[in-house]
Amino acid sequence: MYCRNSIILHLIRGIAAISLIFAVFLFQLPLLLKLFLVVGAILLLRGCPACWLLSLINKLQTQKGKQYE
């Protein structure tokens, strides 16, 4: 059950980070605000997008392994 909740929270963090990144490119914002949005996205992803994706895959594999035990 814990793993399922963490996967959902992991996906929510990813969606929030992607929306911040899209906001940087879609809206005409001051440079300082764009910088804060990018930093916020990096903090939400806890690193680079590739690291976030690998962590998600790892959590999915862990959950799948627990189902068969």
2-58 pLDDT per residue, tens: 445 578 888 899 999 999 999 999 999 999 999 999 999 999 988 888 888 888 888
Q: Which of 35, 43, 36, 55 is nearest to 17 (CA)?
A: 43
* Rounded distance between C-alpha atoms, residue 50 and residue 53, angstroms: 5
Residues 6 or more apart whose Cβ sits within 8 Å of residue 10: 52, 55, 56, 59
For CA atoms 8, 64, 18, 37, the dihedral sign is positive
Cβ pair 11, 60 in contact under 8 A: no
- Categorize the per-residue pLDDT at 66 as very low, low, confident or very high, splitting at 50, 70 and 90: low
pTM equals 0.75
**pLDDT attached to residue 50:** 87
